[in-house]
């Protein structure tokens, strides 16, 4: 195959790529597998377990979509993407959707021709310092050495923040989180700054976690969202409403354990009935089966269950819901109605 | 004459040399404390060794091999050696070593890469050591096809029909050369290409539908860890040497077009960082190829790595060619050898011998460069290390995984380096 493929490709390379094939939904169904771009390794969000199966909060989103479309949460090929290659891979059609802690920004949405269809985690940039430094606010960090990952939005946010507050700092540029952890814990810098979820995960790994504190300031908005390509609105709807189904399920008290029972027969709450397909034809409106939401919820649970299982307070990462609580509980997670 | 009392009339038994002039003390004095500067350096070096060993030694000696999380590791160390002590947590290696070696290759199929490795050693035998019977060279020639089939699986007829292309080339060459030498050579190049383009695929499908025989098909996403590094590294090494030789010869050629093409190739690819070529392989090609084209990512990477390495190799070999005295070329001419005979019998054996250190240096560099593929999201050992660290069980572990990966890379590179020294010694014919 090596050679035939090579020559076949050389011949075919002359042909201009041109219009994409059928819709993404048809492609996924024909393939029998969802290609989902995610992180090669980010604690709690995406990481392969001892059997090589990817687990995590971001991967759970992929599994929910696969369950809704294909009926099987395991029919996902998780494609690990680096931060440099993620958007290109999506544009080039290598993956059908991206669930890889990608911040929704103006230029990515417009210039890169992407659609951000649902914010699965509201994050923000924070600071971590050693307790012994005696600092209780980011405003006291004038002149500090700061460990920071290069090529990220956090680098720019940091510069903006210090400039706005008339402070100076000395950056210690680092390649990735692993290196940053090592440099910070060996004392190469006073402060480590990245997304607050990343700081919490990093802090949890220290043997002396109680010696480190997260400062209260959050200096940026980092809405981490699910992403699809421009130009296939049906597919964008599927990803968006699968995510909304997980949110609505939590809001209405539908969990992975009681969903079967609730879906068996129409209940008293009409919105639950519409969501679970016991009333109306919501699934067919976007080309899916009647019980698409049931399968998505059964894949891992509703939004709250997924959060608790992967990054919540009971895990070593121990993130609290905060901004990611439902709107009914003072957070920002809000699904439009299923009607 | 009075006998002079001071004259000795018997031999003294020989005395031992002063203790500072023999054995270890002498060696120490001459090598370690022969002057103020050396004394200072010795003391400083001893102190450095003491600090390193004093830090790492206890940490290593308190290693834990059986635990399921980093927290458990830390608890075991504290329980065994007292609070506040730290120790190495090799339990992560114990749990994940297969992933670092094989990536996500299915666990029940590990025998396939393992068998491939064994066969690779067999195939390398006749190439590396002259005492292995020459018949095994045929196996070495067929090995790439065997390895491809074993690793990726699929129909057994695919590699066989591809190998048949070489047979086609040979037959065409044999039939046409008596008619016209140049025609024979051109036809021997064109015929297999036509065969691979148009006949190979349908032929393979036809035989496969008659006699379906094959292994479970695997895809490149399953490859990872040292399996991936070795596949890319070994293919790159095996293909870049012959291409490099041809490029080096082409660069020295008197034929204008050949020379220009070779110079452009060499300078072009040497002037670009490898990582750029890898990005081209992984991202840019996708934009040019029609949607749905399956062009294996590992194959793309192998092609890029081979091209890159061949450009370097060509310059190393050109150095060897330049070191040969003019008289060697003239001697070949005076014997009436044609160009290829002269290259094969006189020039190349000497030029390659001179370039061995450079060539092997290139090989080692290439093998280590395979870790760059993590930038295009392939699962090389270092990428797997960060994936493993991202698990909640092992988040926070650092040195242990890198030590393991570093150790394995050292094994590969050190054996290559030792082999090059063996080869240099064996081929040493001058009297320096």
pLDDT tens digits, one per residue of A210-228: 889 889 889 999 899 999 9
Alpha helices in B271-398 (DSSP H): 274-279, 285-288, 297-323, 326-334, 339-342, 348-369, 381-389
Dist CA A258 CA A236 (whole Å): 28
Q: For chains A and B, what is the number of CB pairs under 8 angstroms? A: 138
Q: Are residues A182 and A243 in the same domain?
A: no
Contact (Cβ atoms closer than 8 angstroms) between residue A198 and residue A149: no
How many domains does chain A contain in total? Answer: 2
Establish if A81 touches chain B: CB-CB under 8 angstroms: yes
Compute the nearest-CA separation of B257 from chain A (Å).
Answer: 23
Do B338 and B416 share a structural domain?
A: yes
Query: Of A186, A220, A254, which one is at a domain's C-terminal end?
Result: A220
Is the pLDDT confidence value at A84 over 80?
Answer: no
A152 plus A186 within the same structural domain = yes
Chain A residues inside the 8 Å CB shell of B193: 7
Q: Are residues B231 and B166 in the same domain?
A: no
Same structural domain, A241 and A318: yes
Closest CA to A184 of A195, A172, A198: A172
Residues B273, B176: one domain?
Answer: no
> What confidence tens digit (pLDDT) does each residue in A295-338 have?
999 999 999 999 999 998 888 888 889 899 999 999 999 999 99
The residues, ordered by sequence, that sit 6+ positions from A145 with a Cβ below 8 Å of its Cβ are A169, A170, A171, A172, A188, A189, A190, A191
CA pair distance B195, B166, nearest whole angstrom: 10
d(CA A101, CA A227): 10
Asked if residue B209 and residue B244 are part of one domain, the reply reads no
If asked whether residues A148 and A272 sit together in one domain, one would say no
CA distance A80 to chain B (A): 6
Q: Which domain holds residue B280?
A: 99-105+218-426
Give the per-residue pLDDT at B1: 55
Q: Are residues A146 and A190 in the same domain?
A: yes
The answer to whether residues A185 and A276 belong to one domain is no
- Please determine, for residue A7, whether its predicted confidence score (pLDDT) is greater than 60: no
Interface confidence, given as ipTM, is 0.76
A44 interfacial to chain B (CB closer than 8 Å): yes
A281 touches B at CB < 8 Å = no
User: Which of A5, A8, A9 is the best residue to mutate to test the B interface, defined by the most B CB atoms within 10 Å of its own CB?
Assistant: A9
The answer to the question of residue A5 being in a domain is no
User: Contact A44/B392, CB-based, under 8 Å?
Assistant: yes
Q: What is the mean pLDDT of residues A60-70?
A: 96
In a domain, B146, yes or no: no
Q: Is residue A315 part of a domain?
A: yes
Residue A1 lies in a domain: no
Interchain pair A315, B293: CB under 8 A? no
- On the CB side of B29, how many CA atoms lie within 13 Å of its CA? 9
In a domain, B275, yes or no: yes
Flag whether pLDDT at A15 surpasses 70. no
CA–CA separation, A138 and A227 (whole Å): 32
Pairwise CB contact (< 8 Å): B74 & A207? yes
Clarify whether residues B373 and B405 are in a common domain. yes
> Do residues A194 and A63 both lie within one domain?
no
Q: Are A49 and A77 in a shared domain?
A: yes
Q: Are residues B185 and B228 in the same domain?
A: no
Q: Is residue A43 part of a domain?
A: yes
**Based on the domain organization, do B253 and B393 belong to the same domain?**
yes
Asked if residue A16 belongs to a domain, the reply is no
Gap between the Cα atoms of B293 and A13, Å rounded = 10
* Whole-number Å distance between alpha carbons of B394 and B399: 12
Closest CA to B97 of B405, B411, B393: B405
Chain A residues with CB-CB distance to B286 below 8 A? 88, 92-94
Chain A residue with minimum CA distance to B225: A52
Determine the pLDDT at residue A12: 39
Nearest CA in chain B to A315: B392
Residue A20 is predicted with a pLDDT of 44
**Tokens standing for residue A50:** 């001892």
Which of residues A176, A196, A220 is at a domain's end? Answer: A220
Partner residue facing A4 (CB), from B196, B283, B379 = B196
Q: Is B229 within a domain?
A: yes
Q: Are A56 and A45 in contact (CB under 8 A)?
A: yes
CB proximity under 8 Å: B 355-384 to A: 374-377, 379, 383
CA distance linking residue B331 with residue B334, whole number of Å: 5
Q: Phi then psi for B16, rounded to 5 degrees?
A: -70, 150
| B27 plus B161 within the same structural domain | no
Is B222 found in the same domain as B163?
no
pLDDT of residue B5: 67
Residue of B nearest to A55 (CA): B391
- Residues in chain B where the model's pLDDT stays below 50: none
The mean pLDDT of A38-50, rounded to a whole number, is 87
What pLDDT is stored for residue B292 in this prediction? Answer: 60
- Work out the number of other CB atoms within 10 angstroms of the CB of residue B282: 24
State the average pLDDT over residues A282-306: 94
Q: Quote the DSSP letter at residue B221.
A: G
Helix (H) or strand (E) holding A126: strand A125-130
Distance, CA of A28 to CA of A34 (rounded, Å): 6
pLDDT of residue A22: 65
Residues within 8 A of B (CB atoms), A 17-36 only: 17-18, 20-21
User: A21–B375: do the CB atoms touch at under 8 Å?
Assistant: no
**Domain assignment of residue A12, yes or no:** no
- Per DSSP, B16 falls in state P
Give the Cα-Cα-Cα angle A216, A221, A227 (nearest 5 degrees): 140
Please give the residue range of the domain that contains residue A181. 125-220
What pLDDT does A17 receive?
35
Tell me how many domains chain B contains: 3
The answer for B 206-235 residues in CB contact with A (under 8 A) is 221
Closest chain B CA to residue A6: B295
Within a domain: B17: no
Say if B299 falls within a structural domain. Answer: yes
- Based on the fold, state whether residues A325 and A278 are members of the same structural domain: yes
Residue A99 pLDDT: 95
What residues in A contact B158, CB-CB < 8 Å? 1
Asked whether residue B258 falls in the same domain as residue B342, the answer is yes
Assess whether A324 and A233 both reside in one domain: yes
pLDDT of residue B291: 62
Average pLDDT taken over every residue of chain A: 87
**For residue B201, which residues of chain A lie inside 8 Å, CB to CB?**
4
Say if residue A202 is in the same domain as residue A264.
no
Q: Please tell me which of the candidates B154, B291, B292 has its beta carbon nearest to residue A1.
A: B154
DSSP H or E segment with residue B125? helix B111-128
| B185 and B234 together in one domain | no
List of chain A residues whose C-beta atoms are within 8 Å of the C-beta of residue B375: 82, 84-85
Q: Which of B215, B237, B264 is the endpoint of a domain?
A: B215
Would you state the pLDDT for residue A339? 87
Q: DSSP class of residue A227?
A: E
Q: Quote the pLDDT of residue A90.
A: 92
d(CA B72, CA A49): 17
Using the Cβ of A40 and the Cβ atoms of chain B, whether some distance falls under 8 Å is answered with: yes
A198 touching B (Cβ < 8 Å): no
Residue B322: its pLDDT value, please? 92
Q: H or E stretch including A147? A: strand A144-149
Return the CA Rg of chain B. 30
Whether B20 contacts chain A with CB within 8 A: no
Taking contacts as CB-CB distances below 8 angstroms, the residues of chain B near A181 are 396, 398
Per-residue confidence (pLDDT) for residue B187, from 0 to 100: 84
Q: What does the alpha-carbon distance between residue B382 and residue A178 come to, in Å, rounded to a whole number?
A: 11
Nearest alpha carbon to residue A202 among A49, A44, A39 = A44
Determine, yes or no, domain membership for B324: yes
Nearest C-alpha of chain A: how many angstroms from B106? 9
> Does B172 lie in the same domain as B225?
no
Q: How confident is the model at residue A1 (pLDDT cuts 50, 70, 90)?
A: very low
Q: In this structure, are A231 and A114 located in the same domain?
A: yes
B395 and A316: CB-CB below 8 Å?
A: yes
Alpha helices in chain A (DSSP H): 2-12, 24-31, 57-70, 86-91, 106-110, 153-164, 177-185, 196-205, 233-252, 259-264, 270-276, 282-285, 292-300, 303-310
Would you call B291 and A49 a contact, using CB atoms and an 8 Å cutoff? Answer: no
Answer yes or no: is A95 within a domain: yes
- Is the Cβ of A80 closer than 8 Å to some Cβ of chain B? yes
Q: Could you tell me the CATH number of the domain that includes residue A322?
A: 3.40.190.10
Rounded Cα–Cα distance for residues A211 and A234 (Å): 50
Q: Is residue B16 part of a domain?
A: no
The helix or strand, by DSSP H or E, that contains position A36, with its residue range, turns out to be strand A34-39
Q: What percent of chain A has pLDDT over 90?
A: 58
Tell me whether B161 touches chain A (CB under 8 Å): no
* Final residue in a domain of this structure, among A170, A203, A220: A220
- Residue A3 included in any domain: no
């Amino acid at each position: 195959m090596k050679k035939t493929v090579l020559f076949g490709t050389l011949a075919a390379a002359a042909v201009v790529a041109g219009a994409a094939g059928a819709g993404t939904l048809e492609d996924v169904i024909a393939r029998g597998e969802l290609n989902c771009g995610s992180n090669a390794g980010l604690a709690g969000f995406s990481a392969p377990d001892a059997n090589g199966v990817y687990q995590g909060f971001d991967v759970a989103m992929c599994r929910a979509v696969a369950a809704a479309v294909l009926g099987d949460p395991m029919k996902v090929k998780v494609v690990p993407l680096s931060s440099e290659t993620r958007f290109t891979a999506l544009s080039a059609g290598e993956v059908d959707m991206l669930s890889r802690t990608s911040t929704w920004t103006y230029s990515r949405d417009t210039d890169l021709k992407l659609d951000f269809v649902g914010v699965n985690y509201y994050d923000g940039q924070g600071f971590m310092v050693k307790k012994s430094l005696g600092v209780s606010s980011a405003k006291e960090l004038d002149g500090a050495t700061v460990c920071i990952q290069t090529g990220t939005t956090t680098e720019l946010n940091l510069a903006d923040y210090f400039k706005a507050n008339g402070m100076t700092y000395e950056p210690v540029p680092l390649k990735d989180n692993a290196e940053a952890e090592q440099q910070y814990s060996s004392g190469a810098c006073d402060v480590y700054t990245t997304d607050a979820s990343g700081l919490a995960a990093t802090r949890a790994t220290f043997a002396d976690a109680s010696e480190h504190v997260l400062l209260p300031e959050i200096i940026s908005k980092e809405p981490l969202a699910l992403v699809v390509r421009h130009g296939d609105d049906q597919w964008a709807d599927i990803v968006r409403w699968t995510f909304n189904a997980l949110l609505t399920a939590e809001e209405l008290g539908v969990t992975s354990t009681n969903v079967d029972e609730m879906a068996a027969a129409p209940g008293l709450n009409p919105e639950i009935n519409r969501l679970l397909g016991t009333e109306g034809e919501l699934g067919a409106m976007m080309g899916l089966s009647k019980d698409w939401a049931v399968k998505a919820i059964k894949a891992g649970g509703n939004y709250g269950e997924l959060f608790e299982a992967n990054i919540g307070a009971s895990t070593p990462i121990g993130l609290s819901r905060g901004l990611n609580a439902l709107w009914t509980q003072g957070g920002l997670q809000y699904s439009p109605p299923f009607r | 004459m009075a006998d002079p009392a001071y004259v000795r009339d018997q031999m003294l038994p020989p005395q031992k040399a002063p203790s500072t002039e023999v054995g270890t003390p002498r060696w120490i004095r001459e090598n370690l404390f022969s002057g103020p500067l050396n004394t200072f350096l010795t003391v400083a070096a001893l102190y450095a060794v003491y600090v390193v060993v004093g830090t790492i030694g206890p940490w290593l000696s308190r290693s834990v091999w059986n635990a399921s999380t980093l927290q458990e590791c830390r608890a075991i160390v504290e329980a065994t050696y007292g609070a506040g002590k730290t120790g190495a947590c090799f339990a992560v290696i114990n749990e994940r070593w297969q992933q670092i070696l094989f990536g996500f290759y299915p666990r029940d199929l590990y025998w396939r890469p393992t068998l491939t490795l064994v066969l690779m050693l067999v195939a390398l035998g006749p190439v590396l050591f002259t005492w292995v019977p020459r018949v095994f060279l045929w196996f070495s020639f067929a090995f790439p096809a065997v390895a491809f089939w074993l690793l990726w699986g699929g129909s057994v007829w695919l590699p066989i029909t591809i190998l048949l292309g070489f047979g086609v080339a040979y037959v065409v060459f044999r039939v046409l050369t008596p008619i016209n030498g140049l025609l024979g050579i051109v036809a021997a190049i064109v015929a297999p290409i036509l065969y691979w383009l148009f006949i190979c695929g349908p032929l393979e499908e036809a035989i496969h539908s008659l006699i379906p025989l094959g292994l479970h098909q695997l895809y490149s996403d399953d490859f990872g860890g040292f399996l991936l590094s070795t596949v890319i590294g070994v293919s790159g090494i095996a293909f870049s040497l012959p291409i490099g030789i041809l490029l080096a010869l082409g660069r020295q050629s008197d034929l204008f077009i050949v020379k220009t093409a070779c110079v452009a190739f060499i300078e072009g690819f040497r002037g670009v960082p490898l990582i750029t070529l890898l990005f081209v392989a992984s991202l840019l090609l996708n934009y040019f190829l029609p949607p749905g084209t399956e062009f294996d990512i590992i194959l793309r990477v192998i092609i890029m790595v081979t091209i890159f390495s061949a450009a370097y190799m060509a310059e190393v070999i050109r150095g060897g060619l330049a070191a040969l005295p003019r008289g060697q070329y003239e001697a070949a001419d005076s014997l009436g050898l044609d160009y290829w005979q002269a290259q094969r019998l006189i020039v190349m054996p000497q030029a390659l011998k001179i370039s061995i250190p450079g060539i092997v240096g290139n090989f080692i560099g290439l093998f280590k460069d395979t870790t760059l593929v993590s930038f295009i999201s392939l699962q090389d050992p270092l990428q797997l290390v960060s994936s493993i660290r991202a698990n909640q069980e092992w988040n926070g572990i650092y040195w242990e995984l890198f030590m393991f990966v570093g150790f394995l890379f050292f094994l590969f590179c050190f054996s290559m380096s030792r082999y090059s020294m063996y080869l240099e010694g064996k081929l040493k014919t001058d009297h320096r």
